[in-house]
Structure formats: structure tokens, C-alpha cells
Amino acid sequence: MREGETPQGGDVPAPGRRSRRLAFAEQELRLISSLVLLIGLGLFFALPFVLSIGSVVFLPVVTALVLTVILSPLADKLNGWGLPNALAALCALLIFFAIVVLALGTILQPAIALFDDVPAMAQRVMTRFGEVREQFAWIATLNGQLAALMSADSTREVVLAAPSLLEQVAFATPSVILEIVLTLLMAYFMIEARVRLRQRLLFGRASFGTSIKAARVIREVQDRVAAYIFTVGWINAAVGVVVALGAWALGVDAPIMWGGLAALLNFLPYVGPIVMIALLGLFGIGTADTIPLGLVPALAYLALHTIEANFITPSILGARFTMNPVMILIALSYFTWIWGVFGALLSVPILLMLTALFDHIGKPNLVGFVFGEPLFATSLFDEHDSSNSADH
């Protein structure tokens, strides 16, 4: 029976069969989307345990991948200047390593010189807080009475011997050096093989449209992460210079160290500036004559960070690099839980890579999916209908 004829013998019209097929396909697609969502949530909660246990294997790989994305534009530029591909990859990696060593040297060398003053500084901090505590002595008396009421008649304290800091550093140094060497080697080979990888991704696809999409994804991920790191690096370097000049003007010891520390900690959104304010507050209280005078460096840095984070950085980065603060904090806590400090440093580049990837493959509509909407904003059935209408 042709479409449009009157059904006879109880036959279902063609439009009715088509609507039933579409309804069944929608139910099937929703079931598959639910399974994909459950699998994704399971991986999200299971990955921290797998990645933390296998951090010796996974951390160098992820770090090398991030370094490859960041340094590939620099290697491409060096290659365009006439350097061979292998030499361009090596030079890009050496430039990055030199910058990291210079930044760490700027911080560690003055810190070692100030290390001898730490005991006296700590004693002054305890004295300042002791003076403040005397003003609230009634709270300490109340705590003592509560502790006396809750304590048992006879208790035995067991003290477990723990390794000292030097022993922990001595045990951890060989593994850290091995992971750094593995990371640099993997990053070099990944950067050196970037051209072959691009050709394989572009020309090894079944259709021309897929190749174009793969090329756009690769270019967007590389450009977004590299441009973000490069731009934020310049901004943080400027913040470090201002902090160093401000510390020198306020008479704070080792102003270069404080400038370098401010530049490095500023790569950690929200957490880094809080740590910097706490360090400046403790250092100022330990070296100044009074507590209000010791809080001046921390308050000055807080004012600088407020201006930089709310006006300067958003105006320079623009809407392209604007990320949800909640997503930044989730990524920061997620990867810090997995890999500690290294995970915190890698959290923002990984979030940028995932954001650029989802911008091309589509962001899942998690909230709308709960209320019956498709998991992705673009429905496959809408595309099917539009293609059919285009054919007609």
C-alpha cells in the first residue's frame, strides 16, 4: 500500500508506522544514553583510585601529553625557521626545562639563605600569637575544664616513630628523578612524532568530513591550551615582578624569592593566592614589630590579586578562555586528590583540553536529560529529518 492511501483491513498508515518507529528509536537511544551516562559516572569515580595507585605510570604519561600540547606550537615555529623536526622538539623541551629550572632557582636559592632564620621567625610568630591568646585566656580555661571532665582516670599514650623529613626526602628522591626523566623522554618523543600523528589522524579516517573534524579538534586543543599557558605565564610573570618590587619597597627580605613564589602559585587558581597570602602573613608577623604592621605585605598582595583576577586577566584572556569557577575547583580538587601538587598544576590544562574536546563533539545535557531531554543538544532525529527534507 502506497503512502497516503486509506488503510484497509486494519492496516496501520505509513505515517503511524513511522511515528512508532521513531518513538521506539527514541526509547532505544535514551536507554543507550543512560548506559553511557552510568558508565561515565562510574569511570569518573573509579579513575582516582586507578590513577593514584598507578601514578608511577600514569602521571608521566599525562604530564608528557600536556607538555606535548603546550610545546608543539613552539616546535612548529622552530621547525618553520629551518630546524629539523627532531632538533626542534629537543630545543622546545630544553627551553621549557630551562624556564622551570630558572624559576625554581629564583625561589630556592633565597629560601635556603633564609632557612637559618626560620627558628627565630617561628619563635616571634608564637610570641605574637601568645600575646593575642592572653586576651582570650578565658577560652583556654574553658577548654581545659572540658578536657579534664572528658579525660579518663588513667590513660597510656603510644607514640609511633615516624621517619624524619630528611629520610622521607632521601627515599623519595630516586623515584622523583626517575619520573622526571621518563616524563621528559616521553614528551620529547611525542613532540617529535607530532607531524606523523597529525598525518595519521587526518589521512587515516574513512571520510573527508571526519578528517576535517579531527584536524579542527587537534588544532583547537593545541591552540587553546598553548595560548592559555603562554598568556597566563606572561601575566604571572608581571605579577611576580610587581610583588618583588613591592616586597623590596616594604623592606621584606628576599624580594626576588617572593616574586617568583607569587608567579608560580598564581598558576593555581584560587588556592595559590590563598597560600601566598598565608605565607606573607606569617612571614610578616614573624619579622615585624607588631601584628598590624606584619599584615601589610599580605594585604598589599591581596589588593594586587583582586585587581589582577577581576580586571586584568579577564580583559586579556577574553571569553574564549573563560571557565566556570565551579568546574575549575572540581578539577583542582579532583586531580589534587589523585596526584597531589603535580595534579593541581595539571588540572587547568587538562580541563582546557576536555573543554575544547567537548566543544567539538558536543557537551552532554546532564540536567535536561533527567527531565526527558536528549543527552546531547543536537538530536540525531532532527538531523535525520533535516537530511530527508534536504533530499526532497
- Would you write out the chain's pLDDT as a tens digit for each of its 392 residues? 455 555 555 555 566 677 777 777 777 777 877 787 788 788 888 888 888 888 888 888 888 988 888 888 888 888 888 888 889 889 999 999 898 888 888 787 777 767 666 667 667 767 766 666 666 555 656 666 666 665 544 455 444 454 544 444 445 566 777 888 888 888 898 888 887 777 776 676 666 667 777 777 777 788 788 888 888 889 999 999 999 999 888 888 888 888 988 888 888 888 889 988 988 888 888 777 777 888 888 899 999 999 988 888 888 876 666 677 788 888 888 888 888 888 888 888 888 888 878 777 777 776 666 666 776 765 444 444 444 444 44
Q: Which residues pair with 364 in a beta bridge?
A: 376
Distance CA 59, CA 338 (A): 10
Residues 6+ apart with CB under 8 A from 123: none
What is the number of other CB atoms lying within 10 angstroms of the CB of residue 240?
22
Position 136 scores a pLDDT of 58
3-state secondary structure the chain: CCCCCCCCCCCCCHHHHHHHHHHHHHHHHHHHHHHHHHHHHHHHHHHHHHHHHCHHHHHHHHHHHHHHHHHHHHHHHHHHCCCCHHHHHHHHHHHHHHHHHHHHHHHHHHHHHHHHHHHHHHHHHHHHHHHHHHHCHHHHHHHHHHHHHHCCCCCCCCCCCCCCHHHHHHHHHHHHHHHHHHHHHHHHHHHHCHHHHHHHHHHCCCCHHHHHHHHHHHHHHHHHHHHHHHHHHHHHHHHHHHHHHHHHHHCCCCHHHHHHHHHHHCCCCCHHHHHHHHHHHHHHHHHCCCHHHHCHHHHHHHHHHHHHHHHHHHHHHCHHHCCCHHHHHHHHHHHHHHHHHHHHHHHHHHHHHHHHHHHHHCCECHHHHHCCCCCECCCHHHHHHHHHHHHC
In the chain, domain spans? 55-113+178-204
Q: What is the pLDDT of residue 140?
A: 58
Which pLDDT score, from 0 to 100, does residue 386 have? 42
